[in-house]
């Protein structure tokens, strides 16, 4: 099996697992996924519900850390990616939701068709109730950072993602990817406590992306 570390999991205070390990049990549920060296690619830029399920027991404080790089797509002015955390159960086919979970989502849409949906660059938090039902919890306008989304930046650079979530309290800290020391963060709370799950579901919509650590 290809060796690949997609997520750095931090369990409890000061206890970290940081080593290159085999990708655990996983499902390439939809889209076109493949390894190239130590990077994992989703190459179907037309896939609207591309999804990779990774078995990863989660409870209490967790850190999800990886980098993402743009590869193709968004010529139509729309694309997004994100991942479900604390997923209780997954399906190995294209689906709107992913069991009972929360989806952290980044979206770019020049002409949104959903009434009231943010134009341009935004972030959304969804509560997934089942594989077919999700509800929007919160939306954040990120257009002040849209200047970073140039072709040159997106094609040449991997964007570091680091998110800390305390499943006990619902607190989420999203660290600033432009901060080289990764000290500054934006925080909010999920409307849930005592979150537990056995899976993570990585999603893309209308984009070809690659994921890795380096």
Q: Strand 101-109 and strand 78-87: pairing?
A: antiparallel
Alpha-carbon distances of 56 from 64, 90, 181, rounded to whole Å: 11, 12, 27
Residue 213: its pLDDT value, please? Answer: 76
CA–CA separation, 51 and 165 (whole Å): 21
* Closest CA relative to residue 196, chosen from 72, 66, 88: 88
Helix (H, G, I), strand (E, B) or coil at 35: strand
Residue 177: its pLDDT value, please? Answer: 86
Q: What tokens were used for 117?
A: 């949906």
Residue 37: its pLDDT value, please? Answer: 84
Residue 154: its pLDDT value, please? Answer: 76
CA–CA separation, 81 and 59 (whole Å): 23
CA–CA separation, 42 and 207 (whole Å): 8
What is residue 168's DSSP assignment? T
Q: Are 74 and 206 in contact (CB under 8 A)?
A: yes
CA–CA separation, 66 and 38 (whole Å): 12
pLDDT beneath 50, residues of the chain: 1-5, 8-21
Domains of the chain, earliest start first: 31-212 (2.60.120.560)
Q: What tokens were used for 197?
A: 């799950």
Residue 41: its pLDDT value, please? Answer: 94
């Amino acid at each position: 099996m290809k060796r690949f570390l997609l997520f750095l999991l931090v369990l409890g205070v000061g206890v970290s697992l940081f080593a290159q390990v085999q990708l655990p049990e996983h499902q390439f549920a939809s889209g076109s996924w493949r390894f190239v060296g130590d990077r994992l690619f989703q190459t179907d830029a037309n896939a609207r519900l591309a999804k990779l399920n990774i078995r990863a027991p989660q409870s209490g404080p967790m850190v999800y850390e990886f980098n993402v790089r743009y590869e193709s797509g968004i010529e139509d002015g729309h694309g997004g990616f994100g991942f479900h955390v604390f997923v209780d159960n997954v399906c190995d086919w294209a689906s709107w939701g992913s069991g009972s979970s929360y989806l952290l989502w980044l979206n770019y849409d020049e002409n949104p068709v959903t009434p009231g949906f943010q134009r341009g660059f935004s972030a959304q938090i969804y509560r997934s109730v089942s594989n077919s039902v999700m509800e929007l919890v919160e939306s954040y306008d990120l257009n002040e950072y849209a200047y970073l989304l140039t072709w040159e930046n997106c094609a040449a650079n991997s964007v570091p993602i680091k998110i800390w979530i305390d499943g006990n309290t619902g607190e989420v800290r999203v660290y600033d990817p432009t901060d080289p020391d990764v000290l500054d963060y934006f925080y909010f709370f999920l409307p849930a406590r005592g979150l537990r799950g056995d899976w993570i579901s990585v999603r893309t919509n209308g984009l070809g992306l690659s994921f890795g650590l380096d």
